[in-house]
Amino acid sequence: MTAKPVRKRTFVKDGKAEDYGLLLGYARVSKGDDQTNALQTNALRTAGCRRLFEEAASGGRWDRPELHRLLDQLREGDTVVVWKLDRLSRSLKDVLHIMERIAKAGAGFRSVTENIDTTTPAGRMMMQMVGAFAEFERAMIRERTSAGLAAARAEGRIGGRRKKLDVGKRREIAESVIAGRKSGAEMARLYNISAPTVSRIVAQHRTASA
């Protein structure tokens, strides 16, 4: 659904009109489900959202166009509103990343059902905790990477860890994505590889099968 442009609303303070942020609603149902966004959009409008971003896509997918359009248009003072937290994503890692994007934009986040609101003092404290967990996760990844490289050097291997994907695993990744059983993001998380790596594996499989 294409969202219509909405001008920032104003209020008067000390005789001067000033802009304040918009409430931007995000609604999602899984692609292929019999559900509709009606329940979510009604709740979001009741919460005060004048602008809605709606789409049908799996919560495990990162490549959701309406979500990224929303994130790209965020401005300082805006608030992202969802009906439930899992509408944002079913992946904790993706939720942390999205929260970071929202915080960097100077915006807030609100979940109607869970009563989460980062525009309040308690909510801001939660956002700080989210950021701390995200930084901890990055530090752990760096530590594991360094340990892996050190182990590789100790074994006389150059270039880091051993190749982790054998022919069978690469075929399973490609066939799962091509058949639509799993998304590229889901296979990337399952095998602990990057999304571009999954894309290359799929492209190579298509070429070999042509």
User: Residue 53 and residue 99: Cα distance in Å, rounded?
Assistant: 17
Is the CB of residue 21 less than 8 Å from the CB of residue 78? Answer: yes
User: Residue 116 and residue 99: Cα distance in Å, rounded?
Assistant: 12
User: Residue 163 and residue 27: Cα distance in Å, rounded?
Assistant: 40
Residue 89 a catalytic site member: no
Is the CB of residue 55 less than 8 Å from the CB of residue 66? Answer: yes
Residue in 64, 120, 72, 105 with CA at minimum distance from that of residue 88: 64
User: In angstroms, what CA-CA distances link 15 with 12, 54, 133?
Assistant: 6, 38, 43
User: Residue 48 and residue 21: Cα distance in Å, rounded?
Assistant: 12
| Element housing 142 (H / E) | helix 121-154
Write down the catalytic residue from 30, 58, 89, 111. 30
Is the CB of residue 53 less than 8 Å from the CB of residue 3? Answer: yes
Is the CB of residue 177 less than 8 Å from the CB of residue 187? Answer: yes
Catalytic site residues?
30
